[in-house]
Structure 1
Amino acid sequence: MATLADVARRAGVSPATASRVINGSSKPVADELRERVLKAVAELRYVPNAHAQLLARPQRSVVGVLVHDVSDPYFAEVTRGLQRVATERGRLVIICNSYRDPDREVEYVDLLRAQQVAAIVLAGSGYHDPTVNALLDERLAAYAATGGRVAVVGWHRHRGDAVLPANQDGARLLGEELRRLGHRTVGVVAGPGTLTTTTDRIAGLYEGLAVSLPEERIRYADFTRQGGVQATAELLDSVPGLTAIVALNDSMAVGALAVLRERGVRVPEDVSVVGFDDMPIAADVTPALTTVRLPLADIGARAMTLALEPATDRDRVEALPAELVRRDSLGPAPS
């Protein structure tokens, strides 16, 4: 097995510098040297046994959780499940909001590694950008080399145990229901196209509708109410004759309902609207929102459970199901 001296020799640095990088020391290390050490760690597959043992000690009692925005109802529910398990196991949770900024996620991983947290949970959506994924992967590998544990929620291209929300299956259920009710001119109010959550949900919708939608019927915006307002207005202005709007989360669906109400469009008599996630507000808006229910708190709980369990030879992957919740915002396509 490679030793610390081997890593230092491969990186062309002193053992002390290599140790500071690997152990997350607060002493500053030049970026160039840090990159060389991390590259040597990856190439030599260096695992410091002392730090693997440290993971089991009680003082390593903090868990870092990266979310896009904890004020988003989706992440609030996931975080509730994460914190419940952490509290039961006597762990403190540090919540890091990345606001969908990959560079900030990389910085948070470095900070959490420096604090020698017991585990890091990536609860936000994965990215499609290969450069971003490679950089995050490098940082997470360096953290795992110190004995830390990694778990992710959703599709990520990183090592670690994973809990998969049924994004594609849930969207397929929506598509099948729309097709059954005769909807053929469907528009999509989508989140950022850079996120795997967005593309997974669009792919599932295509499966359920049994057809791909023209690009002009898809509008990308932030996963927020205002994003839903913007995307819905663009759809209505550019695509005449829509019979249904699929919003890829409930916050965007609420924005879609607001635009339709302002324009005097009846829901569902003229245009049906469906959402995704089944946030508490989905049952309270008028008309009540047809949506896909994901067990978000359970997803968070399972991710934290996996993160706090000992590592296994292979990364574990668990999938939690989705359920279609029928309410008043979805009806038959107008004849």
Structure 2
Amino acid sequence: MTRQPTLHDVASAAGVSLATASRVLNGSDRKVSPELHARVLSAARSLHYSANAQAQALARRSTALVGLLLHDIADPYFSGIASGVLSAAEPHNLRVVIGSTGADPDAAVTHLAALRGERARAAILVGSRTTDRAAEKRLADAIGQFVAAGGRMVCVGQPGLPGDTVVPDNRGGALALGTFLRGHDRVAIVAGPDRLRTVRDRIDGFREGLGHPESTLVRAEFSRDGGYRAALEIPADTTAAFVTSDVMATGFCAGLRERGLRIPEDVAVAGFDDVPVVRDLFPALTTVRLPLAEMGARALELALAEGGAASTVGVPAELIVRASTHQP
């Protein structure tokens, strides 16, 4: 079996010290003269040397690893953001690993500890902050430890945690939708869990735009099936419904049809996020568009930023009117 060339072999062939060869091939921040740099690269090519990832991490204090922590990759909202992160990472030769946080408030804490051990360059946490102060404190502490170890932290959601933040305008988008549906007087809101601040922002914005109390508030899981079950609970005289996520809205529309209610003639329906599937529903769903892939790409750009104070980047939301709603 042919022996794999080592860093010591490269150093000998180039006529430089082992430390100099390491600085060139493992990406150390310490400078090497152009002449020595070229000699080491030439020797490495001639020997077909492949750098060791762990050695590179030690030299740089971080790897080319980025952690992407998502609530649920199967949800089109999160997969849309993930696609933006992955596309933006490719030109930088970064390796993106995805971790699921699910409904466990401490899952992100566990993932961050693992990423810290792997000397990850950055972590991107996508998801709503919660009203659980103790859990938020544990998460903030874990982020602080990750940053102290040299990692860069970016959150996609509400501001308040350490690191950079990409903030979608949930409240403003919902306000525009509420204003659009203001002519309806029997309005239902189908909302995800109250502990999620994203849900609260969307409800508050919608109520402000609506300008009058809604007739019904139904709590449901942030899922297609949650929306379906909610459709079976709303009063039969409901004329319009705001469903706080498009995924829930797909199930909600199916539930209305099962009850024999027409969209939008009997119930106008609107969602939030503008995930691709809602354009193919019949009728197509009125919703609030968030540029999901752009949000992911922006988060990755922040993750690669060097130094500087933490920044907050706002992302506008846009009302998209389609056939599932009508003016009364």
TM bucket normalised to smaller: 0.7 to 0.9
CA–CA distance in structure 1, aligned partners of residues 105 and 69 of structure 2: 11
CA–CA distance in structure 2, aligned partners of residues 153 and 198 of structure 1: 15
1:322 aligns to what? 317
Q: Is the 8 A contact 2:159 2:312 kept in 1?
A: no
Stretches of structure 1 that go unaligned for 5 or more consecutive residues are 1-53
Matched position secondary structure for 1:234: coil
- The TM-score normalised by the length of structure 2 is 0.80
| Partner deviation per Cα, 1:213-239 (whole Å, 9 max, x = no partner) | 46xx1122221110101122222xxx3
Q: Is the 8 A contact 2:62 2:150 kept in 1?
A: no
Matched residue type, 1:224: S
Matched residue type, 1:234: E
Matched residue type, 2:241: I
- The TM-score normalised by the length of structure 1 is 0.78
Matched position secondary structure for 2:134: helix
CA–CA distance in structure 1, aligned partners of residues 253 and 173 of structure 2: 21
1:101 aligns to what? 104
1:204 aligns to what? 205
- Structure 2 residue 224 is the aligned partner of structure 1 residue 225: yes
The 3 A distance-change label for structure 1 pair 265 and 204 is same
Stretches of structure 2 that go unaligned for 5 or more consecutive residues are 1-56
CA–CA distance in structure 2, aligned partners of residues 263 and 228 of structure 1: 14
The 3 A distance-change label for structure 1 pair 56 and 70 is farther
CA–CA distance in structure 2, aligned partners of residues 296 and 55 of structure 1: 34
2:27 aligns to what? none
- Structure 2 residue 290 is the aligned partner of structure 1 residue 307: no
Matched position secondary structure for 2:127: coil
Quick one: which of 52, 77, 81 aligns to 1:78?
81
| Partner deviation per Cα, 1:181-228 (whole Å, 9 max, x = no partner) | x112111111111111111111110121123446xx112222111010
Q: Is the 8 A contact 1:292 1:325 kept in 2?
A: yes
**How far apart are residue 150 of structure 1 and its match?**
0.4
**How far apart are residue 310 of structure 1 and its match?**
1.0
- Structure 2 residue 263 is the aligned partner of structure 1 residue 267: yes
- Structure 2 residue 125 is the aligned partner of structure 1 residue 129: no
Q: Is the 8 A contact 1:175 1:206 kept in 2?
A: yes
CA RMSD of aligned residues (A): 1.8
**How far apart are residue 331 of structure 1 and its match?**
0.9
Quick one: which of 62, 69, 89 aligns to 1:66?
69
**How far apart are residue 100 of structure 1 and its match?**
2.5
Matched residue type, 1:193: D
Matched residue type, 2:212: V
More contact order relative to length (CA 8 Å, sep ≥ 6): 1
1:279 aligns to what? 275
Matched residue type, 1:207: E
Matched residue type, 1:317: T
Q: Is the 8 A contact 1:127 1:156 kept in 2?
A: no
2:184 aligns to what? 183
Matched position secondary structure for 1:152: strand
Matched residue type, 1:221: A
Matched position secondary structure for 2:131: coil
Q: Is the 8 A contact 2:178 2:209 kept in 1?
A: yes
Instruction: Please say which of residues 57-66 and 68-77 is displaced more in the overlay.
Output: 57-66
**How far apart are residue 299 of structure 1 and its match?**
0.4
Q: Is the 8 A contact 2:159 2:167 kept in 1?
A: no
The 3 A distance-change label for structure 1 pair 307 and 187 is same
Matched residue type, 2:78: F
CA–CA distance in structure 1, aligned partners of residues 233 and 93 of structure 2: 49
Q: Is the 8 A contact 1:192 1:223 kept in 2?
A: yes
* Identity over aligned pairs, percent: 43
- Structure 2 residue 285 is the aligned partner of structure 1 residue 289: yes
